[in-house]
Structure 1
């Protein structure tokens, strides 16, 4: 059985006020760096991963490096873990997108599975990448313990797939910065024992 610790990168400035971050290169904020260090300590206390994979974006790479420093192991880049391509929405605030693409913006929050982001990805396309990640873990680490450092959107889709839920339920799952999700995967399916655990961040100041 493959044991996966799925996490999200630490805080970046575009989280609040909310922008469509996508594939923009955003450094971890001071808060994000503290969160990453606390996450590394949390993982080191409970698990001994044999591999650490991260999205190619620097906010995930730096979070993964903090985990590697605490828990050991080298960080490997996994392109399929990259954030959703938000196309023409990338970098814009919700208010800016709502003003220019009112119907698509409303659909994104009401029916995310039916939304086509201009020049960007659909959730169905993200799902293809998500299942490719899980297949890779199952094939290359059939009895291993691995850490995946991704983004809010890719993590939501991975968790929906693991739970057997449709993409229409995208907004039902929350992924806070540096949260911990724990999955067990084998040829018969997937089980979850943790979702969006953040108690290791309680003492991290703003």
Structure 2
């Protein structure tokens, strides 16, 4: 049995306006840095933590690196964990999308996997790359805990994928992912997955799931 803590990076400058941030390589805000430090506190008191991996984007690296240091573990980056490419939607808010292409936005809201945003990455391809990366991370931390820092949309798609939920429902099943929080998944020895918690508080005080 292995636990995978699939965690979203800390806050970025686009967080306040909820702008879609896919491949734009934003830094963390001051608050995001504090969220990363809180996660590092959790990592330091989690003796079963055996692996720390993250996306190659700065916001994920800056979130994962303190946790790896706090746990005395190497920090491995993996470009398969980067956020989806949102195409023409990059940097926009939902309201701005609705004004620019209302039909396309409505189709996306109804089925974000079957009708991705204009010019955006096929979510099914993102699931394929992301799930392979998470499986590798689980193997690296086999029998213990693996920390995997990635991004909101990929995280929700992967949570659905591993737990048998239709990925097209990811926006309805998991409407919000907290910064420096996410999905706590358990991988059983037979290969089945179970969701233990979503949006838990992870701090030096311990775990809340």
- Normalization by structure 2: what TM-score? 0.87
* Structure 1 residue aligned with 2:18: 18
Which digits, 9 at most, give the CA deviation of each residue in 1:25-46, with x for residues without a partner? 1110000000110111123223
* Structure 1 residue aligned with 2:81: 81
* Structure 1 residue aligned with 2:192: 189
How many residues align structurally? Answer: 201
Paired residues of 2:2 and 2:143 also in contact (CA < 8 A): yes
* Structure 2 residue aligned with 1:105: 105
Q: In the alignment, does 2:205 pair up with 1:176?
A: no
Write the distance in 2 (CA, Å) between the matches of 1:108 and 1:44.
Answer: 40
Write the distance in 1 (CA, Å) between the matches of 2:46 and 2:118.
Answer: 42
Structure 1 stretches lacking a partner, 5+ long: 202-206
1:48-87, aligned counterparts within 5 Å?
Answer: 48-87=48-87
Write the distance in 1 (CA, Å) between the matches of 2:140 and 2:181.
Answer: 24
Which digits, 9 at most, give the CA deviation of each residue in 1:3-43, with x for residues without a partner? 21211100011112011100101110000000110111123
Write the distance in 2 (CA, Å) between the matches of 1:132 and 1:2.
Answer: 16
How far 1:109 moved relative to its partner?
Answer: 2.0
How far 1:180 moved relative to its partner?
Answer: 4.5
Change (3 A) 1:141 1:187: farther
Paired residues of 2:3 and 2:138 also in contact (CA < 8 A): no
Paired residues of 2:89 and 2:118 also in contact (CA < 8 A): yes
Paired residues of 1:48 and 1:71 also in contact (CA < 8 A): no
Change (3 A) 1:80 1:17: same
* Structure 2 residue aligned with 1:147: 147
Q: Residue 66 of structure 1 aligns to a residue in which SS?
A: helix
Write the distance in 2 (CA, Å) between the matches of 1:188 and 1:37.
Answer: 32
* Structure 2 residue aligned with 1:30: 30
Write the distance in 2 (CA, Å) between the matches of 1:47 and 1:11.
Answer: 26
Q: In the alignment, does 2:201 pair up with 1:198?
A: yes
* More helix, by proportion: 1
1:133-144, aligned counterparts within 5 Å?
Answer: 133-144=133-144
Structure 2 stretches lacking a partner, 5+ long: 205-209
Cα RMSD over matched residues? 1.9
